[in-house]
Amino acid sequence: MKTTVALLLALTIAPAAAQADSASATKAQAALQAAQQAEAAHQAAAAAAHAKQAADAANAAQLAEAQVQAAIQLRRLEDQTGGATETYADLQAQQQQAANALKQNEAALAALLPVMQRISAQPAATLLANPARPQDSVRGIIIMQGIAADIQRRATAVQAQTQAVTHLLTMMTDQQKLLLAAVADQQKAEDALTAQIAAAKAAETAEADTEAKENAAAIAANANVRDLAAMVAKITNANNTATPANPSAKPSIADNAPVAGHIIQTFGATTLAGPATGITYNAAPGARVVAPCSGPVQFADTFQSYGELVILDCGQSNLFVLSGMAKLDVSAGQRVARGQPVGEMASFDPKNPAKQPQLYVELRQNGTPVNPNSR
């Protein structure tokens, strides 16, 4: 009886166990297939991210080069605006000088004319009003003749100065028209470049978002088939093998100024605070400031009394500092090409057309200021 029961139990349990093993094998096979699919998805995502990264790098290089070329074209217009501004300032100074001379001569005539008018109207009465010896009267007549000659000279000068002032005012009006036309042309080019920079920033933002999503998807797909630490190490190694920022020894602006304008204070010039540690430019109103070297932007923001300030890493412990801008085109962490716009000077002021904004440029090598205008 016991043998019969055991045999019946064995016959009952054996098929159940076989069915359980079969179900486990099916689940394991399904899990393996899922893992393989996840691995394939990760490989595809990694390949797509690598291709997108290469395309983004090529696009960024093209955008930077386009901005460099646009800035070169814009520099010609900025030079015209700067020259027109300086010419207007010179005319304004000449007009003021002529006006001051005219005012002095007019004041002198105003004091002399009443006396001469009285003498001219009643010469005998004027002379008899103060009886004197004949020789004194002759001397008085000679003095009066000298005064009359001086009045004539001043009247002629007043007439010439009046004509000069009128001529200068006409020239200033014509020059102001040229200046306003130059400013208008420059503004059009500025707007086009601003739109290009905005489009480049938008493209970079969109690419960064896409890259972030692809990286997140790659990590999620790889979670069950790859070791996260190995992937982080791989990314770190890839970053460590990147190309250095700039292999050159010491950057210089000797050939290409970072802004349209001219130097008004050289490196080492005497100032109230001691020798100047940088160079100061009188810039064209609204001029774009371009990068003097290629490299990453370390700082880009308002800084104390320096206005908008940019610090650019040129490699090998060389840092360029540019300050005095009214607007920035770059942000910290962004990499720029040499000649690419980084900011904009204060725009043209119709109420003060002769005013030129100032850009300060400083080069620090291993933390020590050096002349940025020397090789």
Q: Are strands 295-302 and 335-336 parallel, antiparallel or unpaired?
A: antiparallel
CATH class of the domain defined by 53-210 = mainly alpha
Q: With cut-offs at 50, 70 and 90, classify the pLDDT of residue 81.
A: confident
pLDDT of residue 117: 61
Question: From CA 23, how far away is CA 209, in angstroms rounded?
Answer: 44
What is the topology classification, in CATH, of domain 261-370? Answer: Glucose Permease (Domain IIA) (2.70.70)
Ranges 127-141, 149-163, 198-212, 224-238: which has the least confidence: 224-238
Most confident of 65-79, 143-157, 324-338: 324-338
Region(s) of the chain under CATH 1.10.287:
53-210
Amino acid at 14: A
At 292, is the pLDDT very low, low, confident or very high (cuts 50, 70, 90)?
very high
289: left (phi over 0), alpha (psi -120 to 50) or beta: beta
The whole-angstrom separation of Cα 229 and Cα 210 is: 23
Handedness of CA 372, 293, 320, 330 (dihedral sign): positive
Largest pairwise CA distance in the chain: 181
End-to-end CA distance of the chain: 110
Query: Crossing angle, helix 134-222 and helix 228-240, to 10 degrees?
Result: 150
Q: What are the start and end residues of each CATH 2.70.70.10 domain in the chain?
A: 261-370
Which amino acid would we find at residue 212?
A
Predicted pLDDT at 309: 94
Determine the average pLDDT of the residues in 239-248: 45
Q: Is the pLDDT higher at 313 or at 72?
A: 313
Query: How many of the other CB atoms lie within 10 Å of CB of 45?
Result: 20
Q: What is the pLDDT of residue 140?
A: 54
Indicate whether this model's pTM tops 0.85: no
Task: Read off the tokens for 11.
Answer: 């016959």
- Given a cut of 80, whether residue 42 has pLDDT beyond it is no
- Helix/strand/coil (H/E/C) assignment for every residue in the chain: CHHHHHHHHHHHHHHHHHHHHHHHHHHHHHHHHHHHHHHHHHHHHHHHHHHHHHHHHHHHHHHHHHHHHHHHHHHHHHHHHHHHHHHHHHHHHHHHHHHHHHHHHHHHHHHHHHHHHHHHHCHHHHHHCCCCCHHHHHHHHHHHHHHHHHHHHHHHHHHHHHHHHHHHHHHHHHHHHHHHHHHHHHHHHHHHHHHHHHHHHHHHHHHHHHHHHHHHHHHHHHCCCCCHHHHHHHHHHHHHCCCCCCCCCCCCCCCCCCCCEEEEECCCCEECCEECCCEEEEECCCCEEECCCCEEEEEEEECHHHCEEEEEEEECCEEEEEEEECEECCCCCCEECCCCEEEECCCCCCCCCCCCCEEEEEEEECCEEECCCCC
pLDDT value of residue 135: 52
